[in-house]
């Protein structure tokens, strides 16, 4: 990398020995520094990363600062409108104690959005990690071991031919009660949703990883590693996995976006978390009946979902460019 790009201006100058013979050596740049430099040139991706960090802080640190219990009922202060309504309508019921307003039971909406975001993001990240794990495992196994390839890819094709959303709904309905009994109401549903999303969305990752592994397997460095007797296990972890990292990272962003949307869709159809347990999709679903009088209640959670997914998609776009060595460094 260092000597292949001589035209790049050498940034730090190392002087070797005494100052009479200044020897300029470009400091070794790690691959990730290059990736980061390229990533920074993609404006949307930087905005996306900024928003994702903001929303993550908002839902994790936010409740500590805001400190209002999202479940606390305050029936006297019900149906408070958000604070900006006061600008248009001076008679509206607003209060600085509830800047985003309260719902029909007097629960503070901002605290609910924070709490709901925690769950939605937690489901998104966990489901994404599970998806990646399943997809990478199946992809690597199919790509590396020729004997497994046929059967694993047939299986992938079969799963792709299943109608996934209806089956996910069926799974939610069937396994809700047993899991709730086994792990408690919140954890049971959490496990169910994460596993449900995980086992219905690993196929694309598996296909991409398989293709890349098959191409890598024919390269000389793999032959070299094999010639010194590297066992298959180490071959995969040391030589193949690091090289398929970039497609995995790009599909990770896609997976996170799909997982957040799927979770909200399930909650929206009334098949997600129980009703006293807010997630963004659940808050949206609960507010739809009264959106004629209180449109802001559907807009807050909807905006949160859409902006988070939009920023994740932009990060994915930027990562795809940044991780592609043909584009990087131009």
Partner 1 sequence: MLTYTFRRVLISIPTLLFIAFVIFMLLELAPGDPMASMPLTIPPEIRQEMRLALGLGEPWYVRFPLWLRQFFVVEPQYWIDNAFGTNFADGAQRIISFQSRSPVFDTIAQRMPQTLWVVGMSYVVGVLIALPIGIISAYRQYSVFDQAGTFVSMIGFSVPPFFSGVLLIVIFSVQLKWLPSIYDTTHVVDDWNSFIFQLKQMIMPVMVLALQTTAQVSRYMRASMLDNLGQDYVRTARAKGMSESVVVMKHVVRNSMIPVVTVIALGIPSIFGGAIITEQIFKVNGLGQLLIIALQGSDIPMVMTITFLLAVLIVMMNLIADILYGILDPRIRYD
Which residues are near partner 1 by CB under 8 A? 44, 157-158, 161-167, 169-171, 173-174, 177-178, 257, 261, 264-265, 268-269, 271, 281, 284-285, 288, 291-292, 295, 298-299, 302-303, 305-306, 309-310, 313-314, 317
Q: Please report how close the Cβ of residue 207 comes to partner 1 at its closest, in angstroms.
A: 14
Q: Which is nearer to partner 1, 8 or 154 (CB)?
A: 154
Select 136 or 267, whichever has its Cβ closest to partner 1: 267
Cβ neighbour number for residue 148 with a 10 Å cutoff: 15
Q: How far is the CB of 319 from partner 1 (least distance, A)?
A: 15
- Minimal distance in Å, beta carbon 230 to partner 1? 38
Q: Which residue number, 68 or 171, has a Cβ lying nearer to partner 1? A: 171
d(CA 297, CA 315): 28
Which of 69/177 has CB closer to partner 1?
177
Residue 33 or 174 with smaller CB distance to partner 1: 174
Handedness of CA 65, 71, 74, 75 (dihedral sign): positive
- Number of Cβ within 10 Å of residue 147's Cβ equals 9
Nearer to partner 1, 142 or 254 (CB): 254
Question: Is residue 78 within 8 Å of residue 104, measured between CB atoms?
Answer: yes
Q: How many CB atoms lie within 10 A of CB 2?
A: 12
**Residue 50: other Cβ atoms inside 10 A:** 12
At its nearest, how many Å lie between partner 1 and the CB of residue 104? 17
Tokens coding 173: 């309905």
Assess contact for 135 and 251: CB atoms under 8 A.
Answer: yes
Handedness of CA 320, 321, 323, 327 (dihedral sign): positive
From CA 168, how far away is CA 192, in angstroms rounded? 10
Least Cα distance to 10 among 23, 89, 19, 21 occurs for 23
Shortest Å distance, C-beta 183 to partner 1: 16
- According to DSSP, residue 239 is labeled I
Write the DSSP assignment of 160-177 as a string of letters: HTS-HHHHHHHHHHHHHH
Q: How far is the CB of 292 from partner 1 (least distance, A)?
A: 5
* Residue 286 neighbours by CB under 8 Å, 6+ apart: 103, 275
- Secondary structure letter of residue 102 according to DSSP: B
Minimum gap (Å) between residue 272 Cβ and partner 1: 12
Q: Which is nearer to partner 1, 63 or 124 (CB)?
A: 124
Distance, first Cα to last Cα, the chain? 14
Complex with partner 1: residue 203 or 240, whichever CB lies closer? 203
Contact in structure between 120 and 56 (CB atoms under 8 Å): no
Taking the least distance from each CB to partner 1, the nearer of 190 and 268 is 268
Provide, rounded to whole angstroms, the least separation between the CB of residue 51 and partner 1: 12
Q: List beta partners, residue 23.
A: none
State in angstroms the smallest separation of the CB of 128 from partner 1.
16
Quick one: how many helices (H) and strands (E) in the chain? 14, 0
């Amino acid at each position: 990398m260092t000597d292949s790009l001589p035209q790049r201006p050498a940034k730090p100058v190392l002087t070797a020995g005494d100052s009479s013979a200044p020897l300029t050596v470009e400091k070794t740049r790690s691959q990730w520094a290059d990736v980061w430099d390229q990533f920074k040139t993609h404006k949307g991706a930087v905005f996306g990363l900024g928003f994702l960090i903001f929303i993550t802080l908002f839902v994790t640190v936010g409740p500590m600062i805001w400190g209002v219990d999202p479940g606390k009922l305050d029936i006297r202060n019900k149906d408070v409108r958000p604070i900006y309504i006061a600008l248009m309508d001076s008679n509206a019921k607003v209060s600085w104690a509830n800047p985003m307003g309260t719902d029909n039971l007097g629960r503070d909406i901002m605290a609910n959005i924070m709490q709901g975001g925690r769950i939605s993001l937690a489901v998104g990240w966990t489901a994404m990690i599970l998806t990646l794990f399943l997809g990478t495992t199946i992809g690597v196994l199919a790509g590396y071991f020729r004997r497994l390839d046929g059967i694993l890819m047939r299986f992938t094709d079969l799963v792709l031919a299943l109608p996934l959303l209806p089956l996910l709904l069926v799974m939610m309905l069937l396994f809700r009660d047993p899991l709730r009994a086994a792990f408690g109401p919140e954890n049971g549903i959490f496990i169910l949703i994460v596993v449900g999303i995980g086992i219905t969305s690993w196929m694309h990752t598996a296909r991409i990883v398989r293709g890349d592994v098959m191409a890598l397997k024919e390269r000389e460095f793999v032959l070299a590693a094999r010639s010194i007797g590297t066992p298959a296990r180490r071959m995969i972890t040391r030589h193949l996995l690091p090289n398929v990292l970039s497609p995995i990272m790009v599909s990770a962003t896609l997976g996170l976006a799909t997982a957040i949307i799927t979770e909200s869709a399930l909650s929206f159809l009334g098949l997600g978390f129980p009703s006293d347990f807010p997630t963004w999709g659940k808050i949206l679903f609960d507010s739809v009946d009264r959106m004629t009088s209180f449109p802001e209640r559907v807009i807050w959670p909807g905006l949160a979902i859409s902006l988070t997914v939009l920023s994740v998609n932009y990060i994915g776009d930027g990562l795809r460019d940044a991780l592609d060595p043909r584009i990087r460094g131009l």
